[in-house]
Amino acid sequence: MKPSLLLACVLLPAPLLAADFNVTAPVSEAVLFPSQAHLTRTFSQSLPAGEHQLVISGLPELDLDSLQVAVEGAVLSGVRQGFAITEADVSARRAKLDAAILELEQTMAAAKAADALDQQQIHHLQSLMGQAPQGQAVFAQVPVEKWSSAWESIGKAVETRQAAINQRAVVRHDQQQKLDVLRQERQQLGQGQTRSRELVLAVSAGKTTAAKVKLQYFTRQAGWQNQLRVDLDSDSETVAVTGIAQIQNRTGEDWRNVSATLGLVPAGYRHLPDPQPWIVRLAKPKPEMRKQSLRAVMAEPAAYEADMEESVSAMPVAPPVAHGFDMRVPLSAPLSLASGNASARVPYQQAELPVSLGRESYLWQQPAVLLVGEWKNASPLPWLAGSVTLLRDGQRLTRYHRHESIKQGEQVKMSFGDDPRLQIAVVREPSREGETGLISKESTLSALKNITLTSHYDKPVTVNLLDRLPVAGNDDITVTAKGKAADANDVDDVKGLQRWQFTLPASGEESFKQGFEIRYPAGERLSGVEGL
C-alpha cells in the first residue's frame, strides 16, 4: 500500500533527524494536454532507521495545489517548500533577450502597419467598385465596354492585398507565441539572482529500507498544440490526414527520455446552471423619428435601445462551457526535449480516408471553379483545433488556423483550390433603372450577368454554380429572378442562395444569362446595391 498525501504546503515539525539526504527527481512521465501537462518525478533513496529529510533541489517550478506525493518503503509525515538563492551573472543573457524582444516587437509593429496600409488600399479599391461607403464608382467614368476588365483588375488587386493580410495573420500567431516566451524568460531571469526551488520531505523508517518516491502535479509551462496536415490525392480520390503534436517544454528543465502521452483535451467542466424563468413579452415598436430639436432626435434611439435591452435580458443565456473528449495517445518513443523555445513535432494520428470531389463556383466572388472535397472523420479519435496545412497532390496550397475540432463521424467540406481544367467567365451587363405602373408607380433596378463555363477535361464533369439573389428587407420591395431558372433555391437554408448544375461533356462549354429585377416604391432609394 503506497501512502499518498495531497498537499496544502504543510509545515514540518523540527524533531531530531537521523540524516538529511540531497536528492534529485527528474521528470520521468508527462501527460501533455493542449494547455497544461501532468508531470511525474520519481527517485529512490536508501534510508537507515529513523526520521529523515529528503531535500529535492533544482526544481524549476512546482504547483503545490495539485502536488501529490507517494512514498513506498517509508512513512511520509510532512512536506514543505523552500528556496535557495544564488548569485549569477545574467547580464549577457538579459541583453540578448532584450535585443531579441525588441527585434520581434519591431517586426510585429511593421507587419501591423503593413496590414493597415493594405486595408486602406482595399477600402480605396472597393470604393472604386462602389462597394465601400465612400467614393463614386469607377464605372461611372469608364466606357461600358471596359467595365468587365476594370472590375477584374480591381478584384485581383483586392484579392492580392487580402492574401497578404491573411499571410501575416498566420505568421503573427507564431510571432506572438515566441514573444510571450521571450518575455517570460526575461521576467524569470531577474536582476542577477537565481532562485532555486527546493522541496523537503519528512519521512521515517522503522528499519533500513529503500524508499521509492513519486511526485505528481500539473503545470501550465508545458503542453502541446495540434497541427493538421490534409493531403488530397486527386487520382485515387483520398485524403491523407495526419495529426501532428507540437510539444512545448517551458518548465526551465530539460527532459530526457520521458515517457510521454498526449491527452486530447482534458475532460470538460461546466458549472451547475441556475434555472431562471424564460419570459416572453410583446416587443415595443421603435419610435418614429420626428423633426424636433437635435437633443430630442438623439434621445429616441437611446430610449429604443433601453427597451430592447430590457426585453433581451429576460431571455436566459447560457455561459460558455468547455467540452472535452478525455482520450489519450501514448507516444511510441521516449521524449527528450530541452526547455525553452524549441519544440518537438510528433505525428500521433494518421488516416487515409475516401473523399468525394466536386466542382463549385461562387459567382459573386472572383470567378473561378473550386475543387471541393468532402470527407468523413472515420478515425477513432477527433482531430483537434489548430493549424491546418492543406496540400493537393503533394503541393502545399495554404496554411490556416481552424478554431473548431473535427469530431468523430463529422462530415468535413473544404476547398482544395482552383480547378485548372475548368474556366468560367462572368461579364456583367450595365444595370438598368426605370419606372413602371400608372397609378402606383414603382422604381425598378435590373442587372444581368453573361456566364460562360468551359471544360478542358477529356471526360464529362459536373459543376455547381452558386450565386446570391438579393433578398428583400422590406415588404414593399419585390425581387424577381431573371434569365435561366436556378435548379435549386435557398441552398443550405441560406435565403437567396441559388444553384445551377451542369454536366459538361469532354471539352464542352455552357453559356447562360442570370440576373434579377428589383421593384421598390418610387422616390425611395435602395441600399445594398452599390456597385451595380
Do the beta carbons of residue 199 and residue 81 sit within 8 Å?
yes
Whether residue 240 has pLDDT greater than 60: yes
- pTM for the full model? 0.62
Contact 331, 213 (CB under 8 A): no
Mean pLDDT confidence for 341-349:
86
Task: List, for residues 299-327, the tens digit of each pLDDT value.
Answer: 333 333 333 333 333 333 333 333 344 67
φ and ψ at 28, to 5 degrees? Answer: -110, -30
Residue 293 has pLDDT above 50, yes or no: no
Residue 35 pLDDT level (bands cut at 50, 70, 90):
confident
Q: Is the pLDDT of residue 154 over 80?
A: no
Q: Which has the higher per-residue pLDDT, 41 or 263?
A: 41
Mean pLDDT of the chain: 80
- Which residues lie below 8 Å from residue 314, measured CB to CB, with a gap of 6+? 278, 279, 280, 281
pLDDT digits (tens, 9 = 90+) for 504-518: 999 999 999 999 999
Model confidence at 282, in pLDDT bands (50, 70, 90)? low
**Mean pLDDT confidence for 122-128:** 72
Cβ-proximal residues to 292 (8 Å cutoff; 6+ apart), any chain: none
At 367 the pLDDT is 83
Residue 297: the pLDDT is: 31
Per-residue pLDDT, 263: 86
* 227 phi, psi to nearest 5 deg: -125, 130
Query: What is residue 151's predicted lDDT score, i.e. its pLDDT?
Result: 67
pLDDT at 451 over 80: yes
Q: How confident is the model at residue 1 (pLDDT cuts 50, 70, 90)?
A: very low
Check: CB of residue 388 under 8 Å from CB of residue 400. yes
Q: Report the share of the chain in percent with pLDDT over 90.
A: 40
pLDDT band at residue 269 using 50, 70 and 90 as cut-offs: low
Residue pLDDT, tens place only, 58-76: 787 778 888 999 999 999 9
Express each pLDDT in 385-429 by its tens digit.
Answer: 889 999 999 899 999 999 888 988 999 999 999 999 999 999 999
> Is residue 292 scored above 70 in pLDDT?
no
| Section 194-221 average pLDDT | 88
pLDDT at 453 over 60: yes
Give kind and range of the element (H or E) at residue 298.
helix 294-313
Work out whether strand 27-32 and strand 255-264 pair parallel, antiparallel, or are unpaired: parallel
Mean pLDDT is lowest, of 64-73, 113-122, 233-242, 301-310, for 301-310
The pLDDT value recorded for residue 361 is 93
Contact 156, 121 (CB under 8 A): no
Taking the domains of the chain in order of start, what are their residue ranges?
4-88+192-220, 91-189, 224-252+338-420, 423-521
Three-class secondary structure assignment of 22-87: EECCCEEEEEECCCCEEEEEEEEEEECCEEEEEEEEEECCCCCCCCEEEEECCEEEEEEEEEEEEE
pLDDT at 51 over 80: yes
